[in-house]
Structure 1
Amino acid sequence: MILGILMGQFLPRIFTELAATFNGLFGNFLEFVIPLIIVGFVAPGIGDLGLGAGKLLGITAAIAYGSSVFSGILTYFTSSLVFPRFLEAGSLVTDAADPSESLLEPLFVVEMPPIFGVMTALLIAFILGLGIAAIKGDMLKKAVGEFQNIIELVIGKIVIPLLPLHILGIFANMTYAGQVATILSTFAKVFVMILILHFTVIVIQYLIAGSVAGKNPFKAIKNMIPAYLTAIGTQSSAAAIPVTLEQTKKNGVRDEIAEFVIPLGATIHLSGSTITLVGVATAVMMLNNMPLNFSSMLPFIMMLGVTMVAAPGVPGGAVIAALGLFETILGFPEPMLALVIALYVAQDSFGTACNITGDGAIAIFMDKISGNITKGSTQEE
């Protein structure tokens, strides 16, 4: 971000045009790969849940999904009330109807049309995932699992390493167009509100888990601080699993429950990432004077919850998996998608920390109710 601002401010125009050309190529590649990402992660994700460990898995997945959706809805209503106090509608120079008007154009364009659209990809993913779960198709499950591995390599080896260059180009172009001052001053305030929402949701999660399990929620949160800090440092839920697991056990969760819920939660529970994505989406729509109402945001939030379950466990993976929803449901053009990526990645570590801290709350809840589930299953047998 800093290098991009300096480039757009002080270097000759040609450098920003080169950056815009890279952004055009990278953006077209993202448009091509987004439907493949959806199929590659959502289909095996649904298939795995259907073929998993019975009631415990189903309830844990439902709680994770509900937590993400609740976080998104809370963020939307909070943003709708708070953002108008410091966001001026339409103040972003880039017009949503013609976002390239004030930005430098690429020197050349290489078209990379996607194989199929995002909604088609979602439908294919749901059909494949539910079909695998229904017929217990081991061969098809293995095939989509291998396809998922390929997409993980594309994300891990191409998309994520090139994101810093993409962000550099975004901020160089915005600086050249005179937009960056508005962006930085505005989103500094947006980020503060997003962080407050992260902490609020963590407290709500532990209040619910504590009331069910009869534990002190604030003591439990205090025990999770090392895991929170580890996630900030690693920007990865998966990398924070060992510390999250250790701290969850300190909260009195049985080993077998903690060792089941925490790795699963690191994959499917992304309430913090949902807060960030919904908050950034709301702010960008307000700045571009786009119509904003709950009826249009609710489908986005509901589908975002599904996408977060399937989001790849790499830094920045959640926003990449969600780009198709921004494009199809909210109508974001490529320059706005690029801005969403930049703003999300800038605080990704805090969203990740919120995600894994919430996993500890789910583990406390599941530890309390798992005895009844096991007892019920035994009686049925």
Structure 2
Amino acid sequence: MKKKKIGLLPKIVIAIALGIACGLFFPGWLVRIFLTINGLFSNFLGFIIPLLILGLVAPGIADLGKGAGKLLLITALLAYGFTLFSGFFTYFASDLSYPWLLKDAELQPLETAAVEPLSPYFTVMMPPLMDVMTSLVLAFTLGLGMSVINGATLKGAMEDFKDIINKVITGVIIPLLPLYIFGIFLNISNSGQVSGVLGVFVKIIVMIFFLTIVLLFIQFFIAGIVSKKNPFRLFRNMLPAYMTALGTQSSAATIPVTLEQTIKNGVNRELAAFVIPLCATIHLSGSTMKIVACAMAIMLMSGMPISFGVMAGFIFMLGIAMVAAPGVPGGAIMAALGLLQSMLGFDETAQGLMIALYIAMDSFGTACNVTGDGAIAVIMDRINKKSNHTGTLEELEEVVVVE
């Protein structure tokens, strides 16, 4: 008989529940063992994040320099624009709702908790080779350079480096995440703050589900105006893709369904075969929404200042980092950890809560991403028909065959 695999989300839920329960009765010496493991994992994350950004962003930007020219550029800009809109829409919605929604929520620093905080037995320093901003600038420079010179040597080396980073994510970081989350909630439970954190989790999950539906209606309303089609019918046709993404938690795995439903919306088959796989990589409106909403909630609970200027810069950079998000559950939050740390000042506990919150809503974000891909495809179909890019469609067919 085939052994049934437990998904990442159930593992995270189990880790949270066990962490809360065990924190109520574990002796201090045992809690410190898990704190030591968490410290090692956290330091490893700090080391790998700049390499992750370099290994994923540089090849991603280089890939955008190939393909179908003008249509590729317009699709990328449209996906980035939708992602930015999602980020700022979430910021203003959170800024309006959080003061009353989370008015009683507070996450005290663990060192000020009622119970004396515990510390790891030891730590191993793993200083990163470069800071996050240096890795971002280097990734942009290398990516743009590779797209211009069309060099095969460096591009091949970066693709190999990207494969290594993806293996580290899928083979080391993702499998160890439940243990890391367990340690975070074990420590929170031991400090007596778990009830406030869980209450916030439920409120944020409900709010983000509502915001994703509103965002999708806005996206399809725009697509309906541009294409002069009924936006509600366009959205209804994409519902099978939405439901499939809820189950798979993967934009890539949902591509066949997304593609079929997009064609039912009247999009040219060749254009859809180009836009949908591309947007599955570069359009992450739902993921951006989750990260912005969760980050603002944790900042509010922790008493950290929230300014529009800082959040605006974070959203612009997040939109670029999302292009680098690997196609695995939780991949987007891995790509965003560096920005959360460098731009918003998130410490180990805040990063752990972000990972847990993000993965708890992974299905909603993925469903929002892939459904929005259909709206972008409708807009691109209208742009292509208006411009009569017959030659470009022939290029698209070649790109699809190559891919």
Q: Give the TM-score range, shorter chain.
A: over 0.9
Secondary structure of 1:329's partner? helix
Q: C-alpha distance in 2, partners of 1:176/1:149?
A: 39
TM-superposed CA distance for 1:311, in Å, is: 1.0
Q: C-alpha distance in 2, partners of 1:102/1:312?
A: 39
* Alpha-carbon RMSD: 1.8
Match of 2:222 among 208, 217, 225: 208
Name segments (4+ residues, structure 1) moved above 4 Å: none
Residue of structure 1 equivalent to 2:277? 263
Residues 1:153 and 2:167 aligned together = yes
Contact 1:44–1:145 under 8 Å retained in 2:
yes
Residue of structure 2 equivalent to 1:58? 73
Question: Counterpart of 1:145 in structure 2: which amino acid?
Answer: E
Residue of structure 2 equivalent to 1:86? 101
Q: C-alpha distance in 2, partners of 1:164/1:240?
A: 25
Residue of structure 2 equivalent to 1:39? 54
Residue of structure 2 equivalent to 1:331? 345
Secondary structure of 1:68's partner? helix
* 1:218-257 paired onto structure 2 within 5 Å: 218-257=232-271
| Ranges in structure 1 where 5+ consecutive residues have no aligned partner | none
Contact 1:94–1:102 under 8 Å retained in 2:
no
TM-superposed CA distance for 1:90, in Å, is: 7.4
1:123-155 CA distances to partner (integer Å, 9 max, x unpaired)? 110110111112222221111111111111111
Q: C-alpha distance in 1, partners of 2:391/2:270?
A: 17
Between 1:320-329 and 1:222-231, the stretch displaced more is: 222-231
Residue of structure 1 equivalent to 2:386? 372
Q: C-alpha distance in 2, partners of 1:42/1:373?
A: 31
Residues 1:188 and 2:188 aligned together = no
Between 1:344-353 and 1:220-229, the stretch displaced more is: 220-229
Question: Counterpart of 2:161 in structure 1: which amino acid?
Answer: F
* 1:4-153 paired onto structure 2 within 5 Å: 4-88=19-103, 91-94=106-109, 103-153=117-167
TM-superposed CA distance for 1:201, in Å, is: 0.8
Question: Counterpart of 2:380 in structure 1: which amino acid?
Answer: M
Gap change, CA 1:103 and 1:281, over 3 Å in 2: farther
Aligned length: 376
Gap change, CA 1:241 and 1:375, over 3 Å in 2: closer
1:283-335 CA distances to partner (integer Å, 9 max, x unpaired)? 11111111111111000000000001121111100001000101111111222
Residue of structure 2 equivalent to 1:299? 313
Contact 2:105–2:196 under 8 Å retained in 1:
no
TM-superposed CA distance for 1:102, in Å, is: 6.1
Question: Counterpart of 1:24 in structure 2: which amino acid?
Answer: G
Q: C-alpha distance in 2, partners of 1:357/1:15?
A: 45
